[in-house]
Structure 1
Amino acid sequence: MRLNQLSVTNFRCYSQKTFNFHPQFNLIVGQNASGKTAVLDAASVAIASWLIGFKKTKDKKNLEKTDATLTYVEREGEAQFIEAWPVAISAAGSVNNNDISWERSKESPTGNTRYGNAAELTALARQCDQQLSEEIPLPLISYYGTMRLWQDPRAAKSSRNKKTPIFSDNVKPSRLDAYNHSVDPRIASKELVSWFAKQEWQAFQLGQEPMMLTVVRNAVLNCIENASYLRFDPKRGELLLTFKDGKRQPFNMLSDGQRCVLALVADIAQKAAILNPHFGEQVLELTEGVVLIDELDLHLHPRWQRHIIEDLRITFPKIQFICTTHSPFLIQSLRSNEELIMLDGLAPAQLANKTLSDIAVGVMDVNSPDTSSRYAEMKGVATEYLKTLDEAKSAPEDKLQQFKERLADSIAPYDDNPAFQAFLEMQRVVQLGE
């Protein structure tokens, strides 16, 4: 699956907007409240349309009443929000080498989400649903939000589900299991751990490690610096990561950045392995799909930010990534300006060899990125102080005290920097006296 184009009507902050996507990597940048997450939410509705054609999938994501664009108006002296209808999401892309377009819409607050204009997409899905026993490719779809690590999609379910044994065989495995929670922005971490546990139990029983376990483990090790081995620890009931220096850390003791990347990469790799086991050891190289990630730089050190995109490209070469970020390091690591989607202004002609300062000013609209905002503020205050001092020298005697008070007030907020204050006060004494 690929998303080539996404159009939204009356969706969240967009009354009408069209986005074009690069087939490999897309990085959406913009200021807070510019609509970055809204683009991902709209894309998740679009890719979730694929699930409608499968009888046993549950995550058929719908448009909600709260998705409608709001307009603040005053009528007859009363202020209120007016919802804009209909809400529609249109997409164009490809699935299994078929170029198609589809649409999901909601006509009113109480209406159902329509998918009549997604007939071609759902027909392809139904065809795949009937051929699951055959070695047909299934596209991977997944959405990871900013709270992906801290909430579990299963948390709100019954206590019966919470107590299900980790090695339970009550449910027969299916390739469609990989579509469970696929457009829920939270990672089903308990299911991920359970999958590792079952795979390692199978390895113990057979005396040989399942190929898919090796594939998923290697994907994680390729994306976490200095990691050498990943396994399930039955005593702790969680994953255990070993580093090249021999140090071992359980998942809950890792840094937030390490946990975010480990869970995200393992989840994508595990889904690919479940969807397309017939690809064997090449499953990650051959599985296509769309993965949405909100704030890809979440909890990552700048050094890690500089290569996380390339790590994902290499590990999942046929996956189309659509991500948001506030990090200039991620922007700097893109291969071309065609992979950058700017919600504020236009992307520069090229990103190659751009410095962080160039990106901060030209892409992220940050003034004077080489210095702190406080330093720039103090520099401005000092300039105005000296200008006022020049005016004060020629002022009449009865106005001199007012000038001195203005000068004192202007540097009063910087009492944490006595050297700054002392220097300017010395200038005042030289020019005006005590």
Structure 2
Amino acid sequence: MEIHRLTLTTFRGFKQAEFEFEPGMNLLVGINGVGKSTVLDALRITFSRILPEFTACEEKHLNFNADDIRIGFDRLAVEVHFQASGIPFQCNVSRGKSHDVKIKPNSSIILESIKKAGNQPLVVYFSTRRSILTEKALNRNRSLDNQSAAFADALIPRMLRLQEFTDWWLVQEELLDEKSDLAQRHLNALNDAVRRFFDWFTDLRVLHTSAESKKTTLLLEKDGVTLNINQLSDGERGILALILDLVQRLLQANPDLEDPLQDGKALVLIDELDLHLHPSWQRMVVQKLTEIFPNCQFIATTHSPQIIGEVQPTGLILLKKENDQVVAIQEGLQAFGLDSSWILKHLMETEPRNLRVQDQINSIEDSLEEGDLELARNQLDTLKRMIYGRDDEVFRLEASINNLEALADEVDSEEE
């Protein structure tokens, strides 16, 4: 499954916008409220309506609501161009007084051939709630070993329902007792994916909380210490939940693949990829995900300059408000390999420093330009007190003042 183009018409804040997507990682960037999550919503709702047409998906479709229509209009439209099982498709979904869904090609022979295939095109959505543990009622379909299980609740904003995953894990362990090669491959794939992202995590396993209880938990070793999933940080748990969920679905959707991690294909939608992640993890998350799942296409939102700096120009989509509408900018964007301060200032249009400190730096530069070295020196002393020490900008400004003072002394000496 790979999406190539999305067009939104009078959908929420978008009057008309077109998005082009590349293989690998695609990042939606922009200020709060500009429509990044709206793009993900358009995709997940649209695919919920068309996946049952050509996959083993048996889920109820999601709906666009009347409130999704841009104010002042009576209809919204979403157009998606994508490829599934090597076949190009176009899908049009609109909502006025009712829903209208069209897919091309709509040949029953083509659609049924994909639906019956041993490997299924998959779309999975991860919301900002993915790290939150819940004991809400389980969807029993998730623990089944069939292709339809891969699609169960895949496109809703779900929390981490641990019991669903551990139930499925225990089924695999029971199959191991029957010498099942498939179950062994499943458990190996899960451990391999976790180990490749978290090289400090080992021995992932499921344990009953007591001999009498049916309740289970997930244990692992972290730097030699045994922890359960409740004891992990939100950042660790959020990434672990994403990896385990995606691996499980790829295994269920692709029973014929020898290596579902390497060869399994899915469109993966992630809201706030940087959620709860330390900047050092933000630096590595793009590379890790695209290495572990090389045939998956990711579309993610982020506010992190560290993550933005890890994505090639063709994978960046900047959303900006212009007059009364939101536009998608994809040409002329470059952030890969650039430092976070540059990305903050030039791409995200945000000063990398505290505004009072930046104003003080600007005042010093103005004084230098006007030749008032005494004032510049006093302003520099104030700056040093403001930031409790020195940094590269202080060194630069102090060097400029010293050089200009030395030059002024030379001029005075010559005049004498």
Residues 255 and 151 (structure 1 numbering): CA distance in 2 closer, same or farther, change over 3 Å? Answer: closer
**What is the rounded CA distance, in whole Å, between the counterparts of 1:285 and 1:28 in structure 2?**
25
**What is the rounded CA distance, in whole Å, between the counterparts of 1:207 and 1:183 in structure 2?**
31
Matched, 1:221 2:221: no
**What is the rounded CA distance, in whole Å, between the counterparts of 2:221 and 2:112 in structure 1?**
43
Aligned partner (choices 314, 318, 327) of residue 304 of structure 2: 327
Paired residue for 1:279?
257
**What is the rounded CA distance, in whole Å, between the counterparts of 1:11 and 1:121 in structure 2?**
29
Deviations 1:136-181 (CA, angstroms, capped at 9, x unpaired): 32112101111223276x93x5xxx68x8xxx99x96421111001
**By how many angstroms is 1:204 displaced?**
4.7
Q: Tell me the secondary structure at the aligned position of residue 128 of structure 1.
A: helix
Q: Tell me the secondary structure at the aligned position of residue 164 of structure 2.
A: helix
Paired residue for 2:34?
34
Q: Please say which of residues 53-62 and 189-198 is displaced more in the overlay.
A: 53-62
**By how many angstroms is 1:119 displaced?**
5.7
The answer as to whether partners of 2:90 and 2:105 remain within 8 angstroms in 1 is: no
TM-score, with length taken from structure 1: 0.74
TM-score, with length taken from structure 2: 0.77
Larger Rg: 1
Q: Tell me the secondary structure at the aligned position of residue 250 of structure 2.
A: helix
**What is the rounded CA distance, in whole Å, between the counterparts of 2:363 and 2:333 in structure 1?**
36
**Matched AA of 2:37:** T
Matched, 1:247 2:225: yes
Matched, 1:64 2:65: yes
Kindly report the root-mean-square deviation, in angstroms, between the aligned alpha carbons of the 2 structures: 3.2
Deviations 1:241-293 (CA, angstroms, capped at 9, x unpaired): 212x311110011000000000001100000001111112x111111120000
Paired residue for 1:373?
355
**By how many angstroms is 1:92 displaced?**
0.6
Paired residue for 1:401?
none
Residues 98 and 58 (structure 1 numbering): CA distance in 2 closer, same or farther, change over 3 Å? Answer: same
Paired residue for 1:126?
112
Paired residue for 1:407?
none
**Matched AA of 2:206:** F
The answer as to whether partners of 2:160 and 2:241 remain within 8 angstroms in 1 is: no
Number of equivalenced pairs? 358
Residues 353 and 128 (structure 1 numbering): CA distance in 2 closer, same or farther, change over 3 Å? Answer: closer
**By how many angstroms is 1:193 displaced?**
2.4
**What is the rounded CA distance, in whole Å, between the counterparts of 2:76 and 2:336 in structure 1?**
39
Which 5+ residue runs of structure 1 have no aligned equivalent? 71-81, 385-389, 391-415, 420-434
Once the two structures are superposed, the pairs formed by residues 3-42 of structure 1 within 5 Å of their partners are 3-42=3-42
Once the two structures are superposed, the pairs formed by residues 291-306 of structure 1 within 5 Å of their partners are 291-306=268-283
Residues 172 and 316 (structure 1 numbering): CA distance in 2 closer, same or farther, change over 3 Å? Answer: closer
The answer as to whether partners of 1:2 and 1:93 remain within 8 angstroms in 2 is: yes
**What is the rounded CA distance, in whole Å, between the counterparts of 1:88 and 1:122 in structure 2?**
25
**What is the rounded CA distance, in whole Å, between the counterparts of 1:90 and 1:33 in structure 2?**
22
Residues 249 and 87 (structure 1 numbering): CA distance in 2 closer, same or farther, change over 3 Å? Answer: same
Paired residue for 1:140?
122
The answer as to whether partners of 1:49 and 1:121 remain within 8 angstroms in 2 is: no
**What is the rounded CA distance, in whole Å, between the counterparts of 1:42 and 1:241 in structure 2?**
37
Paired residue for 1:87?
76
The answer as to whether partners of 1:221 and 1:230 remain within 8 angstroms in 2 is: no
Paired residue for 1:269?
247
Paired residue for 1:116?
102
Deviations 1:17-72 (CA, angstroms, capped at 9, x unpaired): 111111221011000011000011111123324423157612422222221112xx
The answer as to whether partners of 1:181 and 1:188 remain within 8 angstroms in 2 is: no
Paired residue for 2:92?
103
The answer as to whether partners of 2:272 and 2:301 remain within 8 angstroms in 1 is: yes
Residues 287 and 187 (structure 1 numbering): CA distance in 2 closer, same or farther, change over 3 Å? Answer: farther
**What is the rounded CA distance, in whole Å, between the counterparts of 2:275 and 2:101 in structure 1?**
34
Matched, 1:339 2:315: yes
**Matched AA of 1:278:** D
**What is the rounded CA distance, in whole Å, between the counterparts of 1:174 and 1:182 in structure 2?**
15
Q: Please say which of residues 294-303 and 53-62 is displaced more in the overlay.
A: 53-62
Paired residue for 1:203?
176
> What is the percent sequence identity of the aligned residues?
28
Matched, 1:361 2:339: no
**Matched AA of 1:337:** P
Residues 328 and 348 (structure 1 numbering): CA distance in 2 closer, same or farther, change over 3 Å? Answer: farther
